Amino acid sequence: MNLEDTFIIDGTPIPFEPSQTVLQAALKAGVFIPHLCFYPGLRPNGSCKLCTVIINGRHTSACTALARSGIEVENNTPELNDKRRLMLQMLFVEGNHFCPGCEKSGNCQLQALAYELEMMTPHFSHFFPSRKIDASHPEAFLDMNRCIACGLCVQASCEVDKKNIFALSGRGMASHIVINTPSGKLGDSSFALSDKAANVCPVGAILPKRHGFALPIGQRLYDTLPISSQTEFLTTRKA
Amino acid sequence: MLSPQEPPKRKLRVATASLSGCFGCHMSLLDLDENLLDLIELVEFDRSPITDIKHCGTCDIGLIEGGVCNSENVHVLREFRNNCRTLIALGACAVNGGLPTLRNGLDVREVLREVYFEMPGVVSNTIPNDVELPLLLDKVRPINEVVRVDYFIPGCPPSRDAIFKFLTDLIAGRTPRLDYPHMRFD
Amino acid sequence: MSLVNSSAGGVLEPILERYSRNPRHLMQILRETQERLDFIPKWAVDYLAEALALARTQVQAVIDFYAFFYDSPRGKYRILFSDNVTDRMQGNTALLSRMLSRLGLTQGQVSGDGLVSIDTTSCTGMCDQGPALLVNNYPVTRLSSQRIDQICELVKSQTPLVEWPSEFFHVEDNIHRKDVLLSTEMVNGQALKHAIELGPQGMLAEMKASNFRGRGGAGFTTGVKWEACRNAPGQTRYVICNADEGEPGTFKDRVLLASFAERVFEGMTIAGYVIGASKGLVYLRAEYRYMLEKLQAKLEARRKTKLLGKDILGQKGFDFDIEIHMGAGAYVCGEETALIESLEGKPGRPRIRPPFPVTHGYLGQPTVVNNVETLAKATLIAQNGGAWYKGLGTKLSTGTKLLSISGDCNSPGIYEYPFGVRITQILEDCGARNAMAVQVGGAAGTCLARHEFGRKIAFEDVSTSGALMVFGDNRDMFEVARNFMHFFKHESCGFCTPCRVGTTLMCNLMDKIANGKGTGYEMNELSRLHQLLKTASHCGLGQSAGRPIYDTLQKFRPSYDRRLKQKDFEPAFDLDASLAPAREIMDRDDMDAHLGTDL
């Protein structure tokens, strides 16, 4: 292995290609770094902060940090995992996440990370926000209770689908997704299930209608294999 | 000296209750089947739907199913916290409020009005207000928002294996931990 | 398809024309629209989106992001009380209540006749003459009960703002100590002439020789920044003056822009000359809207005297002009990449760095973003040389620093000191006799206790963007920290998880302690959250949001402890109050219809 083209994660040399980020190179090499707002083929967003690592002593997001030869990355440490668990708990209490009644359960990246990081409880007092469900589209629905404001649908719709259907509006805790139609309804947009934006949501905020609970428990994506063992899927998945 | 395999001489006292739950977690407990016989070697039950004892005495372990939805839930939960050395949230509703929290976006007054006046087929014109009836809280809460909780077993319900693993770990003095297949939120 | 009637066009078309239908100017177009219509109705959103070829969600997102844009009616008079801790100390809470009761309103409510709404806002930069409020974004200072009553009468009689007594809107400079910047005279164009004589490289060399560091807070060496921008590949270069002075307790830029604007503009022009930019942008915070016309007049005069425009001072090819861009109520825009996003007509969410603005800034081009004070002081270096400047202050912090001093002192206002001045000296000069604590650098800064007053203002010791709030020994430092925490929650942009959720969680914990429900558990939670926000947040806002709590916990622990319950757990919410709606509808008030505390 050419040391010029490697960097170190928790003591393990990781090969990388020019312009790859630390997260991309790590996943490619089979080293898992928790993440929610990164999707292969889309620009890193850097907002969920689950992929926070320590590079040469500095906390930074692995999804936006370019891989450079010789850098030392701390990733799977109790300190970082504790912080990631705190952020997961923040996301769980910020929205309304009721796994037993969610069609995405078993295939949900937020849930999978909570399993991975052994989040036994959401810990903080729940916000129980009042959020909307948009069922106006014939083939898909939008459940804002589950939205974590990762911005993936916004980017996919704008840059891949060229439809610019979603936007992130508001500020602070009031940040929310809005739909680019005069009515603000998804049903009045050109959104289609074949859109990239329909398939990148890490949680169950954008889901197809009439396909809920299709796979029995035991056969779903994260039922038997932890997300940390599915790095190949995470790098190759295409929506 | 006791070997780790040997059960302690005194059985641990365990109390269980379902607050705002569906008894699914208790069903999962019963689902231990023959493991119940192993468990009963280690524990005896105090207050529980299994024993029909109405109030909880001093216990080693308290298992709470369900979230906190009304004033009676608060009283039961406080009784458990005050009497149980270790209090465990058993299942999704106790851990995060669960599906009953779907009503948290609604005003309790509207909910009661709808149920007792406006539902199809309802003939009453009054909301029951007997003093025996517990009052609803404005929001359903997970139990750790009302009292301090020591352990959480997620799942809807937690599987029998998850419950067995957790309890046997705890009774044997190990840090209770669920392995991946038993770590479930649904 | 046009969704719009002719009267809509009648209002919006002149505004659109003034900004050449350039979507980059969306913020300015929305501001002027609101100044005409009192809010931005849906039809205007649709019209503007169509006219500017933007998605309507893009227009909506900008309105939703900035605190001073309204998509629903907020009254003809929109009154916002400045709610910095200094306003609190000056009694704004009682004055707010007085106005609310006089007008029969609750906070945030719009009066039934649609005339007036009253709410609070983040620090408006009038801490030296507070308590203050904004009415339709114009500041009213030195509030008193009498002034509140007069305002209520003016509102009730629907007197137009222009007819309100002009002394209401009077803003004093309150300069109490002058050093090189505030006392040196400058004939307009003089510094610029010197710079041109030196040439871009020569002027840059002087900047570097001065070892001058930026005055916005981060303290990056200005000459190095200019050079990096000058050398960065790009088609066009920009100079941005960051006048989004939002840090609570800071008002030095207000004074510089009010009375030393020529220096600021001349500094921008010099920066443009050095880096090869032909355009400068001033990002002026919305709270300083009242200065806009005056500043524009000054720019116009500079154009007339060939200090701006084409071939400045007869130098062939040296073209530079300055445009003023108003903010709309977002502290986070003080962060340079958020500021650039805002200048481009977008919500002010900080960008991912690197790349930095010096290579990829405004419109993706190399950009220098400097603080107002930094640019004003560049003129001094042009006038007197880098070596001279280097002789002022300390070795690592050359020159002087403007401090905005407020709080418990006799003479709040602006003080210019050479770097290296001790806190004790400052406290003596401003007449602060019983100081128990000083908050240096605003809410995001450092809280110093009495035993630290021997420390110096300098990058190598106590670094500051310029705020210094004094707290007398009768003050409650817990409430100071709680005020700052609410500020950060209000100003969090919502982009990253730790800051978006964490600032709210920390506010909830502080409120819980304030309500007498806090225990040792909450103290531990505050520390854990601070550690997370400090390390995992996307920008400086989140990274420093927990700092006031952390500092006061270390230094003023008794102000927390005396509020704590001696129990190991207490719910955050009021259990008995949670039964109130059910009690009401079930018409119960018996003992079992209540939940007392658990014993």
What pLDDT, on a 0 to 100 scale, did the predictor assign at position B5? 63
| Band of residue A232 on the pLDDT scale cut at 50, 70, 90 | very high
* CA angle, C442 then C447 then C451, to 5°: 145
Cα separation, C457 vs C451, whole angstroms: 15
Residue position matching structure tokens 């925490």: C485
pLDDT above 80 (res A216): yes
SS3 C526: helix
DSSP helix, strand, coil percent of chain C (3-state; round to 5)? 50, 15, 35
Q: What is the 3-state secondary structure (H, E, C) of B72-85?
A: HHHHHHHHHHHHEE
Cα separation, C118 vs A76, whole angstroms: 50
pLDDT tens-digit profile of A19-57?
999 999 999 999 999 999 999 999 999 999 999 999 999
DSSP letters along C294-349, please? HHHHHHHHHHHTTSSBSSGGG-TT--BEEEEEE--S-GGGGSHHHHHHHHTTS--P
Selected residue with higher pLDDT from C330 and C10: C330
pLDDT above 90 (res C166): yes
Sort residue B137 into left (φ over 0), alpha (ψ -120 to 50) or beta.
beta
| Closest-CA distance of chain C to residue B118, Å | 15
A127 close contact with B: CB closer than 8 A: no
Give the mean pLDDT of C345-365. 96
Domain A3-76, CATH class in plain words: alpha beta
Selected residue with higher pLDDT from A71 and B2: A71
B112 close contact with C: CB closer than 8 A: yes
B50 close contact with C: CB closer than 8 A: no
Mutate to test the interface with C, among B137, B140, B141 (most CBs of C within 10 A): B137
B141 close contact with C: CB closer than 8 A: yes
Sheet holding A206-208, edge to edge: A133-134, A140-143, A206-208
In DSSP terms, which residues pair with C470 in a beta bridge?
C407, C438
User: Per the CATH hierarchy, to which homologous superfamily does domain C176-390 belong?
Assistant: NADH-ubiquinone oxidoreductase 51kDa subunit (3.40.50.11540)
Cα separation, C29 vs C12, whole angstroms: 8
What pLDDT, on a 0 to 100 scale, did the predictor assign at position C568? 75
What pLDDT, on a 0 to 100 scale, did the predictor assign at position C569? 80
What does pLDDT average to over chain A? 95
DSSP strand pairing (C413-418 vs C435-440): unpaired
pLDDT tens-digit profile of C433-480?
999 999 999 999 999 999 999 999 999 999 999 999 999 999 999 999
**Percent above pLDDT 70 for chain B:** 96
Radius of gyration of chain A (CA): 18
Q: Chains that contact A by 3+ CB pairs under 8 Å? A: B, C
What is the ipTM for the molecules in this complex?
0.96
Cα separation, C308 vs C373, whole angstroms: 20
Between A132-141, B9-18, C270-279, the lowest mean confidence (pLDDT) is in B9-18
Strand (E) or helix (H) holding C200: helix C190-210
Strand (E) or helix (H) holding B89: strand B84-90
What pLDDT, on a 0 to 100 scale, did the predictor assign at position A5? 87
Residue C424, Cβ neighbours under 10 Å: how many? 14
pLDDT above 50 (res C3): no
> C579 vs B135: CB contact, 8 Å cut-off?
yes
Find out whether C348 and C342 touch, Cβ atoms under 8 Å.
Answer: yes
Residue B78 is nearest to which of C572, C588, C598, comparing CB atoms? C598
Find out whether C255 and C249 touch, Cβ atoms under 8 Å.
Answer: no
Give the mean pLDDT of A157-161. 97
What pLDDT, on a 0 to 100 scale, did the predictor assign at position C4? 47
B135 close contact with C: CB closer than 8 A: yes
What pLDDT, on a 0 to 100 scale, did the predictor assign at position C565? 85
| Closest-CA distance of chain C to residue B177, Å | 23
CA C45 from centroid of its chain's CA atoms: 27
Q: Which of B87, B103, B18 is CA-nearest to residue A121?
A: B87
Helix C190-210 / helix C261-275 crossing angle, nearest 10 deg: 70
Q: Which of C373, C187, C375 is CA-nearest to residue C268?
A: C375
> A118 vs B98: CB contact, 8 Å cut-off?
no
DSSP strand pairing (A52-55 vs A58-61): antiparallel
Give the mean pLDDT of C516-520. 91
| Band of residue B4 on the pLDDT scale cut at 50, 70, 90 | low
> C46 vs A173: CB contact, 8 Å cut-off?
no
The Cβ-side half-sphere exposure at C51, using a 13 Å CA radius, reads 25
Show me where the domains of chain A are located.
3-76, 82-211+231-236
> A149 vs C494: CB contact, 8 Å cut-off?
yes
SS3 C217: coil
Find out whether A152 and A48 touch, Cβ atoms under 8 Å.
Answer: no
In this structure, whether the domain defined by B12-103+139-182 belongs to CATH 3.20.20.70 is answered with: no
Residue A47 is nearest to which of C490, C495, C573, comparing CB atoms? C495
Give the mean pLDDT of C547-560. 95
DSSP letters along C242-285, please? EE---STT--HHHHHHHH-HHHHHHHHHHHHHHHT-SEEEEEE-
Q: Which of A105, C571, C586 is CA-nearest to residue B139?
A: C571
Tokens representing residue B36 in the block = 């119940």
pLDDT tens-digit profile of C299-323?
999 999 999 999 999 999 999 999 9
> C581 vs B138: CB contact, 8 Å cut-off?
yes
Show me where the domains of chain C are located.
6-65, 77-172, 176-390, 402-475, 478-561, 575-599
Find out whether A60 and A23 touch, Cβ atoms under 8 Å.
Answer: no
Q: Which of C135, C494, C461 is CA-nearest to residue C331?
A: C494
Residue partners of B38: CB distance under 8 A and separation at least 6: B168
A59 close contact with C: CB closer than 8 A: yes
Cα separation, C533 vs C525, whole angstroms: 12
The Cβ-side half-sphere exposure at C373, using a 13 Å CA radius, reads 28
Sort residue A213 into left (φ over 0), alpha (ψ -120 to 50) or beta.
left
Residue position matching structure tokens 């009052």: B135
The Cβ-side half-sphere exposure at A212, using a 13 Å CA radius, reads 15
Cα separation, A96 vs A112, whole angstroms: 17
Q: Which residues of A touch B99 (CB under 8 A)?
A: 98, 100-101
E-strand stretches of C94-237:
116-121, 133-135, 138-140, 175-177
Q: How long is chain B?
A: 186
What does pLDDT average to over chain C? 95
pLDDT above 80 (res C61): yes
**Percent above pLDDT 70 for chain A:** 98
Q: What DSSP state is assigned to residue B117?
A: I
C505 close contact with B: CB closer than 8 A: no
The Cβ-side half-sphere exposure at C489, using a 13 Å CA radius, reads 18
Give the mean pLDDT of C67-85. 97
Protein fold of C77-172: Glutaredoxin (3.40.30)
Q: Sign (positive/negative) of CA torsion C8, C14, C20, C26?
A: negative
Residue partners of A42: CB distance under 8 A and separation at least 6: A152, A155, A156, A159, A160, A200
Residue of A nearest to B97 (CA): A98
pLDDT tens-digit profile of C93-117?
999 999 999 999 999 999 999 999 9
> C582 vs B146: CB contact, 8 Å cut-off?
no
Residue C347, preceding bond cis, omega within 30 degrees? Answer: no
DSSP strand pairing (C138-140 vs C175-177): unpaired
Cα separation, B106 vs A37, whole angstroms: 31
DSSP strand pairing (C133-135 vs C367-371): unpaired
| Band of residue B185 on the pLDDT scale cut at 50, 70, 90 | very high
Residue of A nearest to C57 (CA): A180
pLDDT tens-digit profile of C264-280?
999 999 999 999 999 99
| Band of residue B126 on the pLDDT scale cut at 50, 70, 90 | confident
Q: What DSSP state is assigned to residue C357?
A: T
pLDDT above 70 (res C1): no
DSSP strand pairing (A58-61 vs A72-74): unpaired
| Band of residue A238 on the pLDDT scale cut at 50, 70, 90 | confident
Residue B157, preceding bond cis, omega within 30 degrees? Answer: yes
Give the mean pLDDT of B27-38. 93
Cα separation, A104 vs A114, whole angstroms: 14
Show me where the domains of chain B are located.
12-103+139-182
Tokens representing residue C177 in the block = 């100590």
Protein fold of A82-211+231-236: Alpha-Beta Plaits (3.30.70)
Radius of gyration of chain C (CA): 25
- Helices H / strands E in chain C, number of each: 25, 14
In this structure, whether the domain defined by C402-475 belongs to CATH 3.40.50.620 is answered with: no
Find out whether B163 and B36 touch, Cβ atoms under 8 Å.
Answer: no
What pLDDT, on a 0 to 100 scale, did the predictor assign at position C570? 84
pTM for the model? 0.94
Give the mean pLDDT of C154-159. 97
